[in-house]
Structure 1
Amino acid sequence: MSSITKRVHTLADGRQLIYFDDADTALAPDRAPDLRHPEPRPATATMRQDPLTGEWISIAAARQNRVFLPPAELDPLAPATPSNPSEVPSNYDVAVFENKSPSFGPSITDPHAPQGLDDLAAIGIGRSRTSVGRCEVVCFSPEHEGSFGSLTPSRARTVIEAWADRTAALSAMPNVQQVFPFENRGEAIGVTLHHPHGQIYAYPYITPRTTRLIESVGKYGPTLFADILESERASERVVLSGHNWTAFVPFAARWPIEVHMLPHRHVADFAETTDDERDELATLYLRLLRGIDALYETPTPYIASWHQAPVAAHRDNVRLMLQLTSPRRAADKLKYLAGSESAMGAWIGDIPPERAAELVRDGIARADRDNPVHPTTGGEAR
Structure 2
Amino acid sequence: MPVPDPRGLPPVEPLCETRRDPLTGDHVTITAHRNARTFLPPAGECPLCPGGPASEIPDARYDVAVFENRFPAFDARTPGVPPAVDGAAVFERARGAGRCEVVCFTDDHSAILPRLPVSRFRTLVEAWADRTADLSALPGVAQVFVFENRGVEIGVTLHHPHGQIYGYPFVTPRTGRMLEQAARHRASTGGELFGDVLAAERAGARVVLPGEHWTAFVPAAARWPVEVHLMPHRHVPDLVALTDAEREEVAALYKELLRRCDALYDTPLPYVAAWHQAPIGEGRGLVRLHLELFSVRRAADRIKYLAGSESGMAAWINDVPPERQAARLRDVG
- TM-score where L is the length of structure 2: 0.93
Deviation at 1:48, TM superposition (A): 1.3
2:146 counterpart letter in structure 1:
P
Q: Is the 8 A contact 1:51 1:124 kept in 2?
A: no
Deviation at 1:302, TM superposition (A): 0.4
Structure 1 segments unaligned to the other structure (5+ residues): 1-8, 13-33, 115-122, 366-382
* Residue 180 (1) aligns with residue 145 (2): yes
Q: Is the 8 A contact 2:276 2:289 kept in 1?
A: yes
* Residue 227 (1) aligns with residue 192 (2): no
Equivalent of residue 55 in structure 1, options 26, 42, 47: 26
Of stretches 123-132 and 45-54 in structure 1, the one that deviates more from structure 2 is: 123-132
Residue 262 of structure 1: aligned partner? 231
Task: Map 1:301-320 to 2 at 5 A.
Answer: 301-320=270-289
Structure 2 segments unaligned to the other structure (5+ residues): none
CA offset digits 1:93-115 (Å, max 9, x no partner): 1000000010000428x76699x
Equivalent of residue 13 in structure 2, options 42, 49, 56: 42
Equivalent of residue 135 in structure 2, options 133, 154, 170: 170
1:214 counterpart letter in structure 2:
L
Residue 103 of structure 1: aligned partner? 73
Of stretches 123-132 and 60-69 in structure 1, the one that deviates more from structure 2 is: 123-132
CA offset digits 1:53-88 (Å, max 9, x no partner): 11111111111111111111111100013xx23100
Q: Is the 8 A contact 2:82 2:93 kept in 1?
A: no
Q: Is the 8 A contact 2:237 2:285 kept in 1?
A: yes
Taking the aligned partners of 2:176 and 2:69, their CA distance within structure 1 comes to 26
Taking the aligned partners of 1:250 and 1:171, their CA distance within structure 2 comes to 29
* Residue 189 (1) aligns with residue 158 (2): no
Taking the aligned partners of 1:131 and 1:147, their CA distance within structure 2 comes to 34
1:350 counterpart letter in structure 2:
D
Residue 92 of structure 1: aligned partner? 62
Residue 142 of structure 1: aligned partner? 107
* Residue 350 (1) aligns with residue 315 (2): no
Taking the aligned partners of 2:107 and 2:63, their CA distance within structure 1 comes to 7
CA RMSD of aligned residues (A): 1.8
Taking the aligned partners of 2:274 and 2:93, their CA distance within structure 1 comes to 27
Taking the aligned partners of 1:74 and 1:38, their CA distance within structure 2 comes to 14
Taking the aligned partners of 1:322 and 1:159, their CA distance within structure 2 comes to 14
* Residue 74 (1) aligns with residue 49 (2): no
Residue 379 of structure 1: aligned partner? none
Partner of 2:318, secondary structure, is: coil
1:179 counterpart letter in structure 2:
V
Task: Map 1:209-358 to 2 at 5 A.
Answer: 209-221=174-186, 223-358=192-327
Q: From the superposition, tell whether residues 49 and 147 of structure 1 become closer, same or farther in structure 2 (CA, over 3 Å).
A: farther
* Residue 131 (1) aligns with residue 87 (2): no
Q: From the superposition, tell whether residues 316 and 113 of structure 1 become closer, same or farther in structure 2 (CA, over 3 Å).
A: farther
Taking the aligned partners of 2:82 and 2:128, their CA distance within structure 1 comes to 26
Taking the aligned partners of 1:68 and 1:358, their CA distance within structure 2 comes to 37
Q: From the superposition, tell whether residues 124 and 349 of structure 1 become closer, same or farther in structure 2 (CA, over 3 Å).
A: farther
Equivalent of residue 166 in structure 2, options 197, 201, 223: 201
Deviation at 1:127, TM superposition (A): 1.8
The runs of 4+ residues in structure 1 deviating greater than 4 Å are: 110-114
Deviation at 1:359, TM superposition (A): 1.1
Taking the aligned partners of 1:201 and 1:169, their CA distance within structure 2 comes to 12
Taking the aligned partners of 1:112 and 1:271, their CA distance within structure 2 comes to 33
Taking the aligned partners of 1:113 and 1:248, their CA distance within structure 2 comes to 46
Deviation at 1:124, TM superposition (A): 4.4
Aligned residues: 325
Deviation at 1:38, TM superposition (A): 5.6
